[in-house]
Structure 1
Amino acid sequence: MNRRTTRGNRVGLLLVGALLLLAGVGVALLSTGVFGADRAGQPVYPESAAQWVNANPWLWWAALAVAVVVGLLALRWLVVQIRIDRIHRLSLDTDRDPDPAAGRTDASAKALTRAVEDDILGIDGVRDARADLSGHADAPELWLKVTTDNTADTAHIRRRIVDDVVRDARTALELPALPAYLTLTVSRRSAARSVV
């Protein structure tokens, strides 16, 4: 999940929470008689409103359409949660010089991620490794998912990944501040994520 998705989650959940809170407070105030003692024992909507709803069957079709739209938005939200904005091409040696001869070097992100995965798989005790680059081609982020044997020295593996593999990736990309996120999963145990 990227920062934009996280920000969208916060805003969306804040709006939905505020709407539900206002509705709940309104119903609670109505039921306790704040809007008048005679309203406390009455239904939330009057009988005339119920008759109007029953006399207009198109309202149920409109409610169905709204429910379908809300369902599709919820499905889209779920898809966004699992999506990682993977980078397919990296911009290396990007030169801001307006001279067309200054050039720009693009490289395949898959080449770097495969090299990182191979380096991690060469560490004793590592069962599986997955590397992804996300973010923007000019400012990538390295995401690592590593699974180890349940008898492996995870501290040693983490140290090797940080000191060797991530350092080499930062050197190759000429990005000493390349953000790297490591999810280290011990076989048959829970995952632990850390920023390296």
Structure 2
Amino acid sequence: MTNLNRPARLNRVLLGVLGFVLLAAGAFTVATHFDLTVFVADAPLAPELIEPPTWAFVVTACVAIVLGLLCLRWILAQLARAPKARTWRFEQDPALGRTELATSTAVAPFVDEVTAYPGVHAVRATLAGRREAPALAMVVSAEQDGDLADIRRRIDTVGLPRLRQALDLDVVPVTIEFRFSSRTRARTL
């Protein structure tokens, strides 16, 4: 698994822990119902009910609100996805046939070119939208000692013009997200 997929890994771990806790709580509840634990099913949870101090209610409410907001943020983060790749059709006259180009295929040489730039560890790119209104979304994983300004300059002056020329487009709006890789290239002396 690459370092570009950290949120997905975190989601799987958190969902696994949450699932384990819920399964354990459910198993404990069922075991208590059938008197298989040290607790009696009809016994009260707290034999002497003592009113907790007011601050305990405030702290509980604050923790619940913070947890609720964090869960809401987590759910909203799941909705943010990369734009969907499409298939572009180049047809002037349908009677003569049609030509289709998957945008993932169109952007693959560009990704290979940018990956070869100095300081770049890995690149993901998605060309989305119709041919009349394309949009390029990139995630560039740079090495720790990579020069982000130089990488961006090379993308703008070398990579994108070549992509536009290859696709016969005047403008390709691009969004670039830079991330730092935990790996560094071996240096030769």
Task: Tell me the TM-score normalised to structure 1 length.
Answer: 0.48
Task: Tell me the TM-score normalised to structure 2 length.
Answer: 0.50
